[in-house]
Amino acid sequence: MKVLLVDGANPVFATPRAWKVKEALDKVPFIVNFGSFLDETGALADLILPDHSFLESWTEAAPESGSLGAVVSVAPPAMKPLHQTRAMGDVLLEVGRKLQKPLDLPWQTYEEMLKGAIAPLAGGKDIDEAWFNIRKQGGWWGDLSRAAAPVAGAAGKAPMSPMSYVEPQFDGDAQQFPYHFLPYQSAAFLDGSLAHLPWLQELPDPLTSAMWSSWVEVNPQTAERLGIRDRDIVEVASGHGSIQAAAIVSPGLAPDIIAMPVGQGHSMFTRYATGRGANPISILAPVGEPETGTLAWAATRVRISRVGDPDGRLILFAGAKEEKPNEGHR
């Protein structure tokens, strides 16, 4: 690989250490990043070309669905760009025109490309009218077989494979790693891509009231057996690494489950997210879901142990569940 273009992704943060993504990117001679904020992957880029924010951009999607009808959503920018940013689609179209062997593309702008791909779905001869109606209603939905033209690579129907059941497989010996690890998308930060926003860091978690920090959720029976209380510092270890965070005893978990929200633990992502909390993805096993190849978040076994008293790293809204260090510890 000679050139890598990265847009809307942070694979250095969002993949297990065992995949060695950073080491692989270090071998790429030239990396272009379209991110608006410097994150772990953007720090490795040779060229940064900030894209518009989501409010300044055209947005489109053709989500996978189990329904019989196809859906293509599209929405124009809500505002003009505030800074000297450019849409990635416009940049790539211009680069294509300036190659030594220019690409013969009929569009000058990304908007023209969207119009040419989506408007024909509505049928009829008046493309401008169809494009106006699609933008007005926020997209197009219907039967692709009756549409004037398919959306290349996006909304075309793929043959549906029959449903099948496969026994789950987990990484880690059950004796050495007795618990199933369940990292889940944070209500505030999703997969961690929104952790740089201070208002979301300030947002209390709806179940724990935690802010600006990471935590590990443990079943009450498991916590009692291991001598773990709220705010104790615990270590969660898999066969691929370990992380530390404060514990939250939660009755919403099964006794053999250890859960942790994803989003914190960035080593570089603005002053609001850098060095805050721990990243549970980093200790996941390099196991992929066989049908799609995506990372299997719930396939890793772990062990958990208490390693220290509360030390202030867990911040709860208005001091909720506050207790004195060493109080009640055995």
Distance CA 164, CA 289 (A): 14
* Residue 139 in domain: yes
Number of structural domains, the chain?
2
116/218 same-domain check = no
Please say which residue of 146, 162, 190 terminates a domain. Answer: 146
Model confidence at 156: pLDDT above 60: no
Distance CA 304, CA 255 (A): 12
184/140 same-domain check = no
* Residue 284 in domain: yes
Model confidence at 247: pLDDT above 60: yes
18/117 same-domain check = yes
141/191 same-domain check = no
Pairing of strands 3-6, 30-33: parallel
77/190 same-domain check = no
Chain position carrying tokens 């590990």? 216
Model confidence at 195: pLDDT above 60: yes
Pairing of strands 233-238, 257-262: unpaired
State the helix-helix crossing angle for 110-118 and 127-137, rounded to 10 degrees: 100
Q: Please give the residue range of the domain that contains residue 312.
A: 179-319
The runs of H, that is alpha helices, within 215-301 are 220-226, 270-273
* Residue 32 in domain: yes
Confidence of residue 168 (pLDDT cuts 50, 70, 90): confident
Return the exposure string of 152-187: e unless at least 16 CB atoms fall within 10 Å of the residue's CB, then b. Answer: eeebeeeeeeeeeeeeeebbbeeeebebbbbbeebe
Model confidence at 166: pLDDT above 80: no
Distance CA 260, CA 313 (A): 15
What residue type is 121 in one-letter code?
L
* Residue 327 in domain: no
pLDDT at 320: 59
Q: Are 315 and 205 in contact (CB under 8 A)?
A: no
**Phi and psi angles of residue 80, each rounded to the nearest 5 degrees, phi first:** -80, 150
Model confidence at 207: pLDDT above 60: yes
136/47 same-domain check = yes
* 84 vs 65 pLDDT, higher one: 84
183/139 same-domain check = no
pLDDT at 158: 43
135/235 same-domain check = no
Model confidence at 10: pLDDT above 80: yes
* Residue 171 in domain: no
* Residue 154 in domain: no
How do residues 23-82 score in pLDDT, each as one tens digit? Answer: 999 999 999 999 999 999 999 999 999 999 989 999 998 876 666 677 889 999 999 999
* Residue 87 in domain: yes
How do residues 99-146 score in pLDDT, each as one tens digit? Answer: 999 999 999 999 999 999 888 888 777 889 999 999 999 998 876 555
* 226 vs 160 pLDDT, higher one: 226
Model confidence at 319: pLDDT above 80: no
pLDDT at 183: 97
139/235 same-domain check = no
The CATH number given to whatever domain includes residue 277 is 2.40.40.20
pLDDT at 321: 52
Pairing of strands 139-142, 241-249: unpaired
According to DSSP, the residues that pair with 3 across neighbouring strands are: 30
240/189 same-domain check = yes
Q: Are 315 and 202 in contact (CB under 8 A)?
A: no
109/231 same-domain check = no
Distance CA 113, CA 212 (A): 41
The dihedral over CA atoms of 120, 125, 127, 133, expressed in degrees to the nearest 10, equals -90
7/142 same-domain check = yes
Distance CA 233, CA 241 (A): 17
**Which tokens sit at 133?**
């109606």
Q: Tell which phi-psi region holds residue 180, choosing left (phi > 0), alpha (psi between -120 and 50) or beta.
A: beta
pLDDT at 330: 40
* Residue 33 in domain: yes
The CATH number given to whatever domain includes residue 64 is 3.40.50.740
Please say which residue of 93, 125, 146 terminates a domain. Answer: 146
